[in-house]
Homo-oligomer: A and B are copies of this chain.
Amino acid sequence: MRAPDELRALVEQGLADLTPTASLDGLSEAMRYALDGGGKRIRPVLCLATAEAAGGRAEDALPAAVGLELVHTFSLVHDDLPSLDDDDERRGRPSAHVAHGEGVALLAGDALLTEGLRLALSYDRPQPARELAEATLGMIGGQYLDVTAAQVDLAELHRLKTGRLFAAAVGLGLWAAAVPAGDQDPWRAFGEELGVLFQAMDDLIDGDGYATELGEDGAREVAAAAARRAHERLDAIDADTSVLAELVDGLAVRTA
């Protein structure tokens, strides 16, 4: 059972080993720029840790985990575009469209999404890619709600925009570990809590979302309650879930 940092190193290696589809030519440079932004790789690490806890090999889950990170990166690149959130900076660097131009960033996002799904298609069975495609559709729906609906329910918005990819991280780990569909529910109940936890902490750091709606204490309570439920879900699983518990604790105290 490898620690989160070891799994993160595996993800970084998997990302570095990506061979850009030849026909994409210079487009891979913009994709690489977006991928190299120094994210914490929380989703793919969660995917690998789930696979190991469920009795599989992290290496077998790596294509799905890297695919998930590409899809997450696609969403950042497109969300930053002027017609959506219009963010010029991302993690202290110019956003992809500032660095590479708007048209190229648009296409790089399209390519990251497609390449991410292609990686999830590395398996003999279509289930992992289905999991990722459905989660991606949920996430896009969440972004749509975010940019169009003034009075949207925050919990529903986050369940889609953030929660779906977190839940898919767990689901992809289960498929890679060949856990039968009928045995996945307890793990999936755990995955459902992580998006809430992540988003409440994110809102506390950025001072928006839950922090605006419920105040700082209220947002902290949302996060704490989600962390408690996540631990309860793990306790109900008959497996060594210690690394997943460590990831929950890491999410619950993060400050950046």
A residues contacting B by CB (< 8 A) are 21, 23-27, 74, 78, 81, 83-84, 101-104, 106-107, 109-111, 113-115, 117-118, 121, 123-126, 129-130, 133-134, 136-138, 140-145, 147-148, 160
Contact = CB atoms under 8 A, between A and B. Distances in A.
Copies in the complex: 2
B103 A25 contact: no
Given A117-B133, A118-B130, A24 B81 contact: no
* Contact residues of A: prevailing secondary structure: helix
Given A27-B144, A118-B134, 16 more contacts: A21-B141, A24-B137, A24-B140, A25-B145, A26-B148, A74-B110, A78-B106, A78-B107, A84-B103, A104-B144, A106-B106, A109-B110, A111-B137, A114-B140, A118-B130, A126-B129
A84 to B, nearest CB: 5
A17 to B, nearest CB: 18
A113 B113 contact: yes
Given A133-B121, A137-B21, A83 B110 contact: no
11 contacts: A23-B138, A24-B144, A25-B141, A25-B144, A106-B106, A107-B140, A107-B143, A117-B117, A118-B134, A121-B133, A126-B126
